[in-house]
């Protein structure tokens, strides 16, 4: 099983993105009511951004997840805590599957985190899942994230959490399940 990722192509990937992010299971992604055009606008914005980026994860050539990275200082979350040099934020959405696999999400997370840590400037990863998204919060705890404050962000009340590079590198093998 091989994971790869590439930047989202807002035009070429639009059908897939719209299908995934508008399903009820994507409620915490915040786009379930978006039209195809609105989803396209979001990903075109990310494609043009120098501080926010969207990536499509593939397993053996098949799309399985979206992740977005962002510089917290250029994001609303950066107003809720003392941003440090080397902070990088991430959002993750694992796409729908026909046959759930034990440990699959952990392997996706490990790929995403490893790809983020390729850049030696990344010293700490920041997440801020919705407080009601208990599955994401539990997943981030397994990666070594430490809860910080509960913060108010546009459209959600979020659990802010952090993990240093060293914490993530130590915990990543445990994600394989």
Q: What pLDDT does 1 receive? A: 76
Average pLDDT rounded to a whole number, residues 11-29: 96
Domains and CATH numbers, the chain: 3-176 (3.40.630.30)
* Tens digits of residue pLDDT in 129-155: 999 999 999 988 888 899 999 999 999
The model's confidence at residue 175, banded by pLDDT at 50, 70 and 90, is low
Q: Radius of gyration over alpha carbons of the chain, in Å?
A: 15
pTM, to two decimals = 0.93
Q: What pLDDT does 170 receive? A: 84
Q: What pLDDT does 103 receive? A: 85
């Amino acid at each position: 099983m091989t994971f790869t990722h590439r930047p989202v192509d807002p035009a070429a990937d639009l059908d897939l993105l719209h299908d995934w992010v508008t399903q009820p299971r994507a409620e915490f992604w915040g786009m379930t009511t978006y039209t195809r055009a609105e989803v396209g606008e979001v990903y075109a914005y990310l494609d043009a951004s120098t501080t926010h980026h969207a990536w499509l994860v593939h397993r053996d050539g098949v799309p399985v997840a979206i992740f977005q990275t962002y510089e917290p200082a250029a994001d609303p979350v950066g107003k809720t805590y003392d941003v440090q040099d080397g902070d990088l934020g991430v959002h993750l959405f694992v796409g729908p599957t026909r046959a759930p696999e034990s440990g699959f999400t952990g392997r996706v997370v490990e790929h995403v985190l490893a790809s983020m840590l390729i850049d030696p400037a990344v010293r700490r990863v920041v997440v801020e899942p919705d407080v009601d998204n208990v599955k994401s919060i539990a997943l981030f705890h397994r990666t070594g994230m430490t809860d910080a404050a509960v913060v108010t962000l546009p459209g959600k009340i979020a659990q802010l959490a952090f993990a240093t590079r060293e914490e993530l590198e130590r915990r990543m093998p445990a994600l394989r399940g």
